[in-house]
Structure 1
Amino acid sequence: MKNPVWFIVIVLFISGCSASDPDGAQGKNWYQAGYRDGVAGHHQRTYKVLSALDVTQQSDYDKGYTDGVKVFCNPDFAYQIGLSGQYYDGICDGTANGNRFRLEWRRGWQQFTQ
């Protein structure tokens, strides 16, 4: 691929589609489930939701989620995320690049909605 940004957008889209089923093909790999939720820009699942899913390794889910959020919150890709129409729900707020991420996402989102 000549443009790595489109590759990242495609990866984010695919991971967003799979983030809702942590028991899917990965079995009970809670690190991967958390990572998929974070890299897709979803909010972290609550303790109540994780308990209902019979999560035995919540620390694995939390670690995966944190790692996924670090990937998602890269402001260099925020514009493309907004431009692709993916809604931003504020998970990068409070991170080191949170403000820059929001500004870049908003710029892409405005173009998407026009």
Structure 2
Amino acid sequence: MRSMLPALMVLLLSGCQINPYTFQPNWTSPSWFDAGKEDAMNGLPVKDNQLLADNFNDPHVDRSEYLRGYADGQKRVCEEGFLHAWGLAGKSFPASCDATANAAKLHESWQKGMDESMSASRLN
């Protein structure tokens, strides 16, 4: 019984060890440019300041940086070939492309991809 006591103590104490590879949280303010870009690339509509402040737990929203990032994300997503691929994948038309100048043409390209996807799924 005495020989088991040290082994049990070592086992219990090793369970309380702190993992040296745990990461410290980063408490810097968010990158509003990246937040806007990510929203646009995920097909989300522009968020208002209150929603952004709530989502990122930061009341100091840099609206101009958010909108600049959103416009950059729109440039990447709102292209005919890209939206055709979204339609082929069965994804819904992104709200971030609704306000673009060529929204009707983009919607047609997306719809064509969606129609091709539906006809292909019926054949399989």
- TM-score of the two chains, using structure 2 as the length reference: 0.62
Per the TM alignment, residue 103 of structure 1 is displaced from its structure 2 partner at its CA by 0.2
State the percentage of identical aligned residues.
Answer: 29
Task: Output the CA distance in 2 between the equivalents of 1:46 and 1:113.
Answer: 35
- Correspondence for 1:43: 45
Measure how far apart 1:27 and its partner are: 6.3
In 1, Cα distance between the equivalents of 2:41 and 2:83?
Answer: 12
CA deviation vs aligned residue, 1:65-114 (integer Å, no higher than 9, x gap): 11111211111221111101211144323422211110010111123334
Unaligned runs of 5+ in 1: 1-23
3-state SS of paired residue (2:100): coil
Structure 2 vs 1, CA of residues 55 and 103 (structure 1 numbering), >3 Å: closer, same or farther? farther
Q: 2:81 aligns with which of 71, 76, 79?
A: 76
TM-score with structure 1 setting the length: 0.66
C-alpha change, 1:38 and 1:90, in structure 2 (3 Å) is closer
Q: Secondary structure at the match of 1:91?
A: helix
1:35 deviates by: 0.5
Deviation at 1:47, TM superposition (A): 2.0
Give, in whole Å, the separation in 2 of the partners of 1:41 and 1:90: 5
Tell me which amino acid in the other structure corresponds to 1:62: L
CA RMSD after TM alignment: 2.3
